[in-house]
Structure 1
Amino acid sequence: MVTIKDVAKQAEVSVSTVSRIMNNLPGYSEETKKRVEKVIKEIGYQPNAVARGLINRKTKTIGVLVPKVSDLFASEVLAGIEDSAHDLDYSVMVCKTNFDGVRTINYLQTLSEKRVDGIVIVSQGITSECYKKIEKMDVPVALVATQSDFPLPFIKVNDYQAAYDAASYLVQKGHSKVGMIAGTKGDVISTVPRVEGFKEALSDGGITVTDQMIAYGYFDFKSGIEAMSQLLINEPTITAVFCASDEMAAGALSLLHKKGIKIPSEISVVGYDNTAMAEKTVPPLTTLAQPLYDMGRASIDLLLSSSAKIENLYPHHIVERETVRSFSQ
C-alpha cells in the first residue's frame, strides 16, 4: 500500500510538507506543491480521510440516522442525501435505528468517535437524552420528515395541511363515507397531525367523524392489510379510504383485491408520499406527494449552512392516478 512516506521520498520533501500541501496549509513553494501533487497522481496515493481529519478537523463524512433502510420512503430520502453529499465530496454513513432509543444513542456515540462533520436524522423523534448527546457532540444536525421541540433545523411538509388536502380531495369527488388508515397511534410527529387534518377536512365538508372511521397501523404494508380489514368491519359502507403512507395503501389495495372489492368503482384509495410503489400498484395509486428526494438533497445544504433556518416547509400536491372514483360529475 502506498503511504505518505512514499510520496515524501519520491518528491524529495518531508512528510510534514506533504501533509501541509494536502491540507492547504502554508509553508512551501508553488514549485514544491506542483512536484508533490504530480507524485501523488503518478503513484496513486489515496490519503486516509480520518488521518486528514485529525489535522483539519474535517473528515468529509456525514452520518445519517434512519429508522429503516428497506422501505421506499427511506430509500428516496437517502438517494437525495447521498447524491448531494457526493456532489460536495462527502461520504455518508447510514445507521438503521429501528426506532430504538438505545440503538440511536449508541449510533450517535459511534458517529462521534468517527468524527463525522454532521448528522442527518430522518423520520424519527428526538428525545431529551438524544438531544443531550447531540449537544455534547457539537456537530451540526438536520432533521428530515420530522421536527423537534429542540432548536434543530428541519425539512418536512405540513402534515396537517397535506392530510387535510387529501381528505378534502375525496370529499370534493363526492365521497361522504370516508375512512382513514393512520400511522402509529400517538405519534405526534406524523400520525397526530395527519389524523387532525383528516378530521377537519371531513368536518368542513359536513361529515361527522367517529373513532370507528379511523384504523391505526405502523406505516407498513402488513398493517395496511390489517387496518383495511378492520375498517371494513367497523364501517362496511365506506366508499373511500385515505392512507397515511403508500405502503399501507398498497396493503389496503391487496386486501380489497382478495375480497373481490373493485377499485375504484366500489372503494377509492388515496396514499401518502408518492414513492415508486405508488406507480406500481394495481391499479396505480392516487397519492399525496412529498418531494422526498428533494428534501434529502436539501438536508445536506441545511446541515452545512452557517445561517440555516429552523423551519423549512416543503410543498405537497396530489398526484392523480387510477384509484379514485368521482361521484360529483
Structure 2
Amino acid sequence: MNIKDIARLAGVGLGTVSRVINNHPDVKDETREKVQKIIKENNYIPNNSARNLKKLSSNTIGVLIRGVFNPFLSEMVDIIGKRISQNDYTMLLRHTDYSARGADEIRNLIEFQKEVKLQGIIYLGCDLKEIDNTTFENIEIPLVLASTNSTYNTEVNNFSYVGIKQIESAFIATKYLIERNHKNIGIILGIKEDIGLASERLQGYKEALIKSNIDIKEEFIEYGGYSTRGAYDAAKRLIAKNKNLDSIFCISDIMAVGATKALEDMGIKVGKDISIIGFDGMEISEFYNPSITTIAQPREEMAEHSIAVLLDIIKNKGENRHIVLDTKLIERDSVKK
C-alpha cells in the first residue's frame, strides 16, 4: 500500500492525498474525511521522511517499524506519535520489511541514525534473537526496542526493551486448548525465516504439548505469512493433511481471522466443530463472527512505556530499562466450551 493506492481508492489526485497527510487547510472536509478513512482502513503509515527532511531539527525522534502491513504496530505508532508531539518533538517514521533480520536490522538502525540528527530511536517489532554488549555498539543515541520478537538478556544495558514473555504467553494459549480436551492442536506461524517471535511462540506451544504428554507433529505446523489470506490458505492445508485436527493456535489475530474464514467456508463451524485461538488482542478479534479467543498484548502500555523511557533518557532523567508486561487471555466464542 502506497500513496498512489490511497489516491486511487479515494478517487483523488496524489496532491490531494499529500495535502491531507500534511494537514494542509485547502482540502474540502468531505474529501479529507474520505482520504483519512481509507488511510485508517488500510493501516497505511505515511513515510514521513521526504516531506519532513526540511523541517527536521535536533528535536526529532525516529520510529523504525518492521513490517509495513502490521495493524498492531500501527496502533502503537499512533500513541507514540501523540506523545512525541505533546513533548514538542517531531516523529520520523521508517519501515523495514519482514525479510530484514540480524545484521540487516543493525545496519538499518545505523543508517537511520546517520540520515538525520535524531535524539533517539524506537524500534517496533525487531527480530533480533540474541543481543550482547557489542550488538548496538555503533548506535550512538538512545534506543528502545518495543513489541520485539524476543525476550532479551537484562544484563545488557546499552538499550531499553519493552515487551512480553513470548514463550510463556504461547504456552498459556496452548494449555487453554488442552484444558478444553483438545489434543490435535495445529499452529499457524508467520514465516519460516523468523528467528524470534515465531520460534519463541512455537517453543511455548511445544512445551505445553510436552507437559501434557501430547506428541508434537510436524504436519500440525503451517505458515500464514502474518496475513489473513496467508492464514486462510494455511488453515485449508492443515485440514487437508489432518482430518482429525480439533483446534488451531494462530500466532496473530489477523491470521486467526483468515483461518476462521477458511474453516467456515469449508462448512466447519468454529467454536463447535473446531476451536481457534489468536494472539494480540486486536479489535477485529472481538467483532469478528464468531468472536475470537485471544491472548491480548498490552499495546497501549507498551507504547506509553516505550516513549516515556526514551524521553527520560533523552532528558537525562532516567537510564535504560527492561520492562516485561503481562498478557491476558480473553475468552470468546471461537473455542468450544
Taking structure 1 as the reference length, what is the TM-score of the superposition? 0.74
- Aligned to 2:271, what secondary structure does the other structure show? coil
Partner of 1:140: 142
Written as runs of structure 1 = structure 2, the 5 A alignment for 1:1-329 is 50=56, 53=57, 59-99=58-98, 101=100, 105=107, 108-126=110-128, 135-146=137-148, 147=150, 151-306=158-313, 307-326=318-337
Report the AA paired with residue 195 of structure 1.
Answer: L
Give the length in aligned residue pairs.
270
Report the AA paired with residue 118 of structure 2.
Answer: V
Judged with a 3 Å threshold, the aligned counterparts in structure 2 of structure 1 residues 100 and 269 are, in CA distance, closer, same or farther, namely: closer
- Aligned to 2:118, what secondary structure does the other structure show? coil
Report the AA paired with residue 123 of structure 1.
Answer: G
| Cα offsets for 1:180-217 (capped at 9, x unmatched) | 11122242210111111111112222311111111123
Judged with a 3 Å threshold, the aligned counterparts in structure 2 of structure 1 residues 136 and 274 are, in CA distance, closer, same or farther, namely: same
Quote how far apart the aligned CAs of 1:314 are.
0.8
Return the alpha-carbon distance in structure 1 between the equivalents of residues 84 and 123 of structure 2: 15
User: Any unmatched runs of 5+ in structure 2?
Assistant: 1-53
Return the alpha-carbon distance in structure 2 between the equivalents of residues 301 and 105 of structure 1: 25
Counterpart contact for 1:72–1:276, Cα < 8 Å: no
Return the alpha-carbon distance in structure 1 between the equivalents of residues 270 and 74 of structure 2: 28
Counterpart contact for 2:110–2:138, Cα < 8 Å: no
Counterpart contact for 1:140–1:304, Cα < 8 Å: no
Partner of 1:8: none
Counterpart contact for 1:159–1:193, Cα < 8 Å: yes
Judged with a 3 Å threshold, the aligned counterparts in structure 2 of structure 1 residues 116 and 198 are, in CA distance, closer, same or farther, namely: same
Return the alpha-carbon distance in structure 1 between the equivalents of residues 129 and 269 of structure 2: 44
| Cα offsets for 1:81-104 (capped at 9, x unmatched) | 113223322221111111354698
Quote how far apart the aligned CAs of 1:232 are.
0.6
Quote how far apart the aligned CAs of 1:113 are.
3.3
Report the AA paired with residue 94 of structure 2.
Answer: C
Report the AA paired with residue 329 of structure 2.
Answer: I
- Aligned to 1:124, what secondary structure does the other structure show? coil
Return the alpha-carbon distance in structure 1 between the equivalents of residues 109 and 168 of structure 2: 33
Judged with a 3 Å threshold, the aligned counterparts in structure 2 of structure 1 residues 227 and 121 are, in CA distance, closer, same or farther, namely: same
Judged with a 3 Å threshold, the aligned counterparts in structure 2 of structure 1 residues 309 and 134 are, in CA distance, closer, same or farther, namely: closer
Moved more, 166-175 or 276-285: 276-285
| Cα offsets for 1:211-249 (capped at 9, x unmatched) | 111112322212211211121122211111110001111
Counterpart contact for 2:184–2:244, Cα < 8 Å: yes
Return the alpha-carbon distance in structure 2 between the equivalents of residues 268 and 127 of structure 1: 31
- % same residue: 27
Moved more, 258-267 or 110-119: 110-119
Return the alpha-carbon distance in structure 1 between the equivalents of residues 312 and 171 of structure 2: 32
RMSD between aligned residues:
2.6
Report the AA paired with residue 66 of structure 1.
Answer: I
Larger radius of gyration: 1
